[in-house]
Structure 1
Amino acid sequence: MVRRLISRCIRWASTLLVLVALVTNWYVHQPRYWQQVQAQHLPPPLAKWAARIGNASADLTDALGLTGRDVEVAYPTALSTNMVACAGLPRRVGEPAPSDIAILRKTGFVVGYSPSLRHPLWAAYRTYPVATPAELPPRPSSFKPDPQAKRSPQHKEYTKSGYDRGHMAPNLAIASRFGKAAQLETFLTSNICPQRSGLNRGPWYELEYRISEIWPNTVGSVWVIVGAVPSPEDRRLQSGISIPTAFYQIVVSQRGERLRAFAVYMPQNIRSRAYARSTLVSIDEIERITGLDFLADLPDDVETALEATTPTRLWPTGIRGLYRLLRERFRSYD
C-alpha cells in the first residue's frame, strides 16, 4: 500500500514537472512585450521562476532545434570571408556613441577604440571551422597598453576596481585560430572593458564559447560585432576608465542563399547563471541604444528585414554541440 502510494506520488510529481517545463518553455518563446504584460498579472516570485525554468528548458530544446525561431532572409550574394566585419564596420549616427572612435586593425579582429572612454566602443571578428585548431597558448599574466591607442590604460588601473578586465575580441576565438602573436593583441587594453565578473565569466563567456567552438562546426563562418554601451551618467573607475552600463553582441552567419542574425543585450548586473537566450533583442534595438548603425553595407530591404525582428532562440548546436556546451558550463561553475 505504501509502495503504491509512493509510486503514484512520484508519477504525479514527474507529470507535474514535465507540464511545468512545457508550459514555461512555451512562455519564454513568446514575444518579450507579451511576457512583460503577463508578468504584471503574476506574483513577482512566480514570474521570475517561470522565466528561469522556461529558459533552462528552452536552452536545451532550442539547442536541439526542437523549438524557437531564427531571423533569416534571402541573400544570394556570398559574404566575403576575407573580412572580419560582416557588411561593414559599425558607423556612428548619434549619441551615446562618442565621436572620437579610432579604428585599430589587429590580427583577426578590428577594434573601435574611444580615447575619451578609455576602452573600446566595439570590436569585430570572424570565426570559422578549422580542421586542426591552433594549440591554445598559455594565458598572458597581464594586459599591456596599446601603443596605437591614445590614453590606453595600464593593467594596474583595473586592480581592486571591482571589475574584471573583459575582452571584447575574445582570447579563445582569436588565439585558437591565429596563435600567440594574435592572442597578445587581445590582451592589449584597447580591447578591454570593465565588466562585472558575473557577466564576464557567465553568459558572456558562454556565448563566446558557442561562437568559437560550436557554431563554426554547424554553420560555417560566424561574423560577430561586440560592444559596450556607455553609461549616461558617465560613471568611471577611480583611474578614469568609463564603466559601460551594458554590453551587446550581434552575430551573423550565411548558409547557401540565406542570411541569419541575432543580437543580445546584457546589463552589467546580469546573473552569472543567466541564460544568454533570455537576453535576445532585435538589432534595431541595439542601434537605438548605442547610436550606431550595423550591417550598413547590406541592401536596405535585407538590412531592414534582418534587423527589425527578435528571434526566439539562439542557433541550434546539435547533440554533440550541446554535450560540449553542458560540459563547459559545469566546468566553469566548479
Structure 2
Amino acid sequence: MSQRKMLQSSTGALLLLLPWLGGLVLGEISSEFSQCLDFFYDRTPPQGITAAGYQPICQRYRNQYHFASLYHRQHRAPLYSAYVLSPADGKRPKSTWMYEPQLVFSRASPEMKAFNITMDQNVIESQAVFQDYKNSSFTKGHLNPSMHQKTKQNREATFTLTNIVPQKAGSNSGPWSRLESEVLKKFQTFCNGSMYVITGGMPYKSEPHWINNRVSVPEYMWSAYCCPSYSANRTNSMRPFFPTYAAVGRNDKNSDEEIVPVNIKARASIRGYDVRRMSLETLEAILRQRLTMPISLFQGQCQN
C-alpha cells in the first residue's frame, strides 16, 4: 500500500473514532463550550444532553467567536445553535458557505473555511458539504439566522453548514421566517438587555430521514428565547411571552398533528408547515420525550 493510501486509511479510522474521543479534541472543537459561554444565559449551556456523538463547536470566523452550535457527527447536522440576538445593521450578505476544519482534524485551524470547488474526502466524511443539498428537495435552513446578527461579519459567520439543517422551503420562507421576525420584534420592543436564543431541529421519532443518505432531516424545527430583563410586565397581553417563550414548527407536511396541528385555512404553499407557539416548559417536555433526555435549555428557567 502506498504511503498516501496508508495516510488516508489512518485518517478515515481516526474520523470514525473521533465521536468517542472527546477528551482528546483540542481548540475550539472540544468537549465543552468553554470558549463561547457568553452565548448562553448565565454562561450555562443546555443541560441534560447525555447521548453520544454530540460535538460542541464555538463558531469562529475572522478571529472572533460569533455563536455556538452542538453538532452531531453521525447525523452531520446540529442539534441546536445558541446566540445572542442583535438586529442586523445591514442586508443579508452574499452566501459564501463554509465548513469546520476541526471536525476533520482536531489540530486544524479553528477558523471556519469556505468550501472549495473540489473537496477533500476527509472533509466530506466528517460533516455535511454543499453538494449534499444539491438536487434535494430541501433548502439550507439557518438555526442562527443571519438577520438576527448585527454586523456584516456576524451575519457572514452564520453561513456555515454546522449551523444548517435540511428545511423545506415552505417552512424556511413561510411560517418559520415569520416566527423569526416576531422574535426580533419582541426583542426590539420589550427587551431591556440581552435576548438569548437557542434554535434546533427535532429528529423523527421512528427512524432517521436523510438527504443524500448522509444528512439527517429534522421532522420539526424548535426555538426558545430567554430575555431576563424586560418591560412587558406593563402590558398584560405580553406577560406570557416573558422572560421565556418557545415554538415548534413542522418541517414535514405528512407528520401527525400531535405536536403541531395543521391550519387548514392556510395558503396551500405553506399549509402543513405550521408553527405552534408555546411556553418554554411545554417545549422542554416535548424535547425530553422526543430526545429521551432530561433536557433543560436555560439555567434556572431564565429567572434572575
TM-score (norm 2): 0.61
Per-residue CA deviation, residues 31-52 of structure 1 (Å, 9 max, x unaligned), is xxxxxxxxxxxxxxxxxxxxxx
Larger Rg: 1
Q: Which whole-Å CA distance do the structure 2 matches of 1:238 and 1:283 have between them?
A: 30
Say which is worse superposed, 202-211 or 240-249, in terms of deviation.
Answer: 202-211
Checking the alignment, whether the CA contact within 8 Å between 1:287 and 1:294 is kept in structure 2 is no
Structure 2 gaps, min length 5: 1-36, 60-64, 105-125, 234-241, 254-265
What corresponds to 1:148 in structure 2? 102
One-letter amino acid matched to 1:217: T
What corresponds to 2:214 in structure 1? 240
CA drift of 1:155 comes to 0.8
Q: 1:122 aligns with which of 67, 77, 80?
A: 80
**SS of corresponding position for 1:148:** helix
Per-residue CA deviation, residues 147-176 of structure 1 (Å, 9 max, x unaligned), is 1335222211111110111011111112xx
**1:287 to 1:269, Cα distance in 2 relative to 1, 3 A:** closer
Q: Which whole-Å CA distance do the structure 1 matches of 2:80 and 2:139 have between them?
A: 17
Checking the alignment, whether the CA contact within 8 Å between 1:203 and 1:274 is kept in structure 2 is no
One-letter amino acid matched to 2:188: P
Per-residue CA deviation, residues 189-212 of structure 1 (Å, 9 max, x unaligned), is 111100111111112111212233
Q: 2:139 aligns with which of 151, 164, 171?
A: 164
One-letter amino acid matched to 2:182: R
Q: 2:250 aligns with which of 255, 262, 267?
A: 267
Root-mean-square deviation (CA, aligned residues, Å) is 3.0
**SS of corresponding position for 2:98:** coil
Q: 2:55 aligns with which of 75, 98, 102?
A: 102
Q: Which whole-Å CA distance do the structure 2 matches of 1:209 and 1:238 have between them?
A: 31
**1:277 to 1:234, Cα distance in 2 relative to 1, 3 A:** closer
Q: Which whole-Å CA distance do the structure 1 matches of 2:38 and 2:49 have between them?
A: 23
**SS of corresponding position for 2:91:** coil
Checking the alignment, whether the CA contact within 8 Å between 2:99 and 2:162 is kept in structure 1 is yes
**SS of corresponding position for 1:135:** coil
What corresponds to 1:201 in structure 2? 173
Q: Which whole-Å CA distance do the structure 1 matches of 2:191 and 2:90 have between them?
A: 23
Checking the alignment, whether the CA contact within 8 Å between 1:86 and 1:295 is kept in structure 2 is no
**SS of corresponding position for 2:243:** strand
Q: Which whole-Å CA distance do the structure 2 matches of 1:136 and 1:112 have between them?
A: 27
Q: Percent same amino acid at aligned positions?
A: 20
What corresponds to 1:326 in structure 2? none
Q: Which whole-Å CA distance do the structure 1 matches of 2:298 and 2:225 have between them?
A: 15
**SS of corresponding position for 2:157:** helix
**1:125 to 1:93, Cα distance in 2 relative to 1, 3 A:** closer
Per-residue CA deviation, residues 11-67 of structure 1 (Å, 9 max, x unaligned), is xxxxxxxxxxxxxxxxxxxxxxxxxxxxxxxxxxxxxxxxxxxxxxxxxxxxxxxxx
One-letter amino acid matched to 1:103: P
Structure 1 gaps, min length 5: 1-81, 307-334
Checking the alignment, whether the CA contact within 8 Å between 2:252 and 2:273 is kept in structure 1 is no
**1:84 to 1:276, Cα distance in 2 relative to 1, 3 A:** farther
CA drift of 1:296 comes to 5.3
TM-score (norm 1): 0.56
Checking the alignment, whether the CA contact within 8 Å between 2:93 and 2:156 is kept in structure 1 is no
What corresponds to 1:112 in structure 2? 70
Q: Which whole-Å CA distance do the structure 1 matches of 2:276 and 2:215 have between them?
A: 29
Report how many aligned residue pairs link the two structures: 211
Checking the alignment, whether the CA contact within 8 Å between 1:167 and 1:193 is kept in structure 2 is yes
One-letter amino acid matched to 1:191: N
What corresponds to 1:136 in structure 2? 91
CA drift of 1:255 comes to 2.9
CA drift of 1:138 comes to 2.9
Checking the alignment, whether the CA contact within 8 Å between 1:225 and 1:251 is kept in structure 2 is yes
Whose helix proportion is higher, 1 or 2? 1
1:283-302 equivalence runs, <5 A? 283-288=283-288, 289-290=290-291, 291=293, 293-295=295-297, 297-298=299-300
**1:92 to 1:149, Cα distance in 2 relative to 1, 3 A:** farther
One-letter amino acid matched to 1:110: A
